[in-house]
């Protein structure tokens, strides 16, 4: 029984040490995540304070600026959560270190208890050996008249017996104290069992929180649902959920612009995953350019229909690149159509044909540099 108890305590010590090592690894991971979050927050704060893009030095649009602020708030929130997680891990490590110390003390106490039990058994054996002498004491008293010498011997024997009785009584008291100590140890074991249950509850709660974080990570993931594997192909991300409400209208607008730009033979259809098929990569540069313009104009129309803010201008840069004469003519027709619906259309192009169609050209690149027409 003693050996089994010691083995159990040693197993608890090993398990607790393993938990401490795992928590230290988790703490290091959280520390690394805090460093990464701090770097990301610094970049976002710099971009927000400068109001210009760090790559192209263009002024950041208000929508992008607001989104960057929201990203910064999310980063601060994530950093706070990581700090709280890190503090919880340190607290749990301290608790486990305390438990480990208690296990070591208990193991030493069990070794001491075993030695005391062995000594108690030896004394009880000795008491059993002396019991016949105690029983025979009455016989010796009755035979005191036989001889004085026998009386003296009997007195001596009685004295020895009394001494042994005193020792036995002392050992019995020690045994009672050991019983009390055993009761205390039992209560301590019950407390340790309760702490173990609480620790298991904490572990289960962390597992539950991890599953929730995984759910939201997948829900806001920018990748396709197919990238999560076959088993998760039906999982609906937040982006897919929002896009599915507009996919039907977007595809309808795509079809209209495909007919206007003469790319109806190259079918374009979106789904909520926004995956690019292999057929797109096999198309020529002109075909891909037409597809890109169809998608651009369709998204512009969809945003004007759905957004509260309706931009009353359109800015196009090098829209005629990689297009043949027929393709350029189709794009001009679309631009003319759009210019009747919005106030201003700004076009940056190297195509000389724009001036031949009566468009209002404000600036051209000449031999002496940029020339402005007012």
Summarised one tens digit per residue, pLDDT across range 258-310 is 888 876 655 677 776 665 554 666 777 878 888 888 888 988 888 888 878 87
Angle at 240 between CA 271 and CA 43, to 5 degrees: 120
Query: How many Å apart are CA 297 and CA 319, to the nearest integer?
Result: 11
- Name the percent of the chain in helix, strand, coil, to the closest 5: 75, 5, 20
Question: Long-range contacts made by residues 188-196, C-beta under 8 angstroms, separation at least 24?
Answer: 188/102, 188/106, 192/12, 192/99, 192/102, 195/95, 195/99
Summarised one tens digit per residue, pLDDT across range 162-187 is 899 999 999 999 989 999 998 899 89
In Å, what is the CA distance from 289 to each residue of 255, 315, 330, 334? Answer: 16, 17, 12, 15
Whether 322 and 285 have beta carbons less than 8 Å apart is answered as: yes
Buried (b) or exposed (e) across 273-302, using 16+ Cβ within 10 A? eeeeeeeeeeeeeebbbbbebbbebbebbb
Whether 218 and 232 have beta carbons less than 8 Å apart is answered as: yes
Write down the pLDDT at residue 206.
92
**Sign of the dihedral through C-alpha 42, 46, 49, 51:** negative
- Partner residues linked to 344 by β-bridges: 313
- Please tell me the total number of residues recorded for the chain in this structure: 374
Query: How many Å apart are CA 348 and CA 108, to the nearest integer?
Result: 85
Tell me the two tokens of residue 37. 């979050």
Write down the pLDDT at residue 198.
92
Tell me the two tokens of residue 205. 């709660």
Mean pLDDT by 10 residues, the chain (374 residues): 65 74 76 75 70 63 72 77 77 77 75 77 77 66 67 84 90 91 90 91 92 79 54 61 76 87 68 59 78 88 83 86 84 88 84 60 68 61
Write down the pLDDT at residue 38.
76
- Partner residues linked to 369 by β-bridges: 366
- Partner residues linked to 348 by β-bridges: 317
Sequence-separated (6 or more) residues with CB below 8 Å from residue 2: 110, 113, 114, 117
Write down the pLDDT at residue 275.
59
Consecutive H or E run containing 344? strand 344-348
Token look-up 């190297």 returns: 350
Burial label, 186 (beta-carbon count in 10 A; 0-12, 13-18, 19+): exposed
Residue 310 Ramachandran class (φ > 0 left, ψ -120 to 50 alpha, else beta): beta
Query: How many Å apart are CA 126 and CA 165, to the nearest integer?
Result: 11
**Residue 220 backbone phi and psi in degrees, to 5:** -100, 15
Tell me the two tokens of residue 93. 């490590």
Write down the pLDDT at residue 92.
79
Angle at 70 between CA 312 and CA 225, to 5 degrees: 90
Query: How many Å apart are CA 55 and CA 36, to the nearest integer?
Result: 21
0.75 exceeded by the pTM? no
CA 211 to chain centre: 8
Query: How many Å apart are CA 39 and CA 71, to the nearest integer?
Result: 13
Domain 238-372 classification at class level: alpha beta
Sequence-separated (6 or more) residues with CB below 8 Å from residue 24: 93
């Amino acid at each position: 029984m003693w050996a089994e108890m010691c083995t159990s305590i040693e197993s608890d010590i090993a398990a607790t040490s393993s938990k401490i090592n795992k928590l230290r690894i988790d703490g290091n991971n959280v520390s690394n995540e805090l460093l990464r979050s701090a770097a990301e927050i610094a970049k976002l704060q710099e971009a927000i304070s400068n109001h210009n893009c760090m790559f192209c030095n263009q002024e950041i649009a208000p929508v992008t600026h607001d989104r960057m602020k929201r990203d910064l708030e999310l980063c601060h929130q994530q950093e706070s959560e990581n700090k709280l997680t890190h503090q919880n891990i340190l607290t749990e490590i301290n608790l486990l270190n305390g438990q480990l110390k208690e296990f070591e003390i208990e193991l030493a106490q069990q070794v001491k208890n075993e030695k005391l039990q062995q000594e108690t058994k030896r004394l009880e054996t000795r008491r059993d050996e002396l019991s016949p002498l105690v029983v025979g004491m009455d016989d010796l008293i009755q035979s005191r008249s036989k001889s004085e010498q026998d009386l003296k011997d009997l007195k001596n024997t009685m004295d020895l017996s009394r001494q042994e009785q005193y020792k036995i009584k002392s050992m019995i008291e020690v045994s009672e104290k050991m019983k009390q100590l055993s009761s205390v140890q039992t209560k301590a074991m019950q407390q340790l069992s309760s702490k173990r249950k609480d620790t298991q509850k904490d572990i289960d709660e962390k597992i539950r929180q991890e599953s929730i974080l995984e759910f939201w990570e997948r829900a806001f993931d920018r990748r396709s649902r197919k990238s999560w594997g076959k088993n998760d192909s039906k999982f609906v991300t937040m982006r897919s959920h929002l896009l599915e409400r507009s996919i039907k209208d977007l595809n309808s607008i795509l079809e209209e612009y495909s007919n206007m730009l003469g790319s109806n033979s190259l079918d374009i259809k979106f789904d909520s995953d926004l995956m690019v098929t292999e057929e797109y990569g096999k198309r020529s540069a002109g075909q891909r350019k037409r597809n890109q313009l169809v998608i651009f104009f369709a998204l512009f129309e969809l945003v004007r229909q759905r957004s509260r803010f309706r931009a009353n201008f359109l800015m196009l840069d090098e829209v005629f690149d990689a297009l043949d004469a027929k393709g350029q003519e189709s794009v001009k027709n679309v631009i003319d159509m759009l210019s009747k619906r919005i106030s201003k259309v700004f076009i940056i192009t190297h195509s000389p044909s724009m001036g031949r169609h009566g468009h209002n050209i404000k600036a051209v690149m000449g031999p002496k540099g940029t020339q402005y027409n007012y």
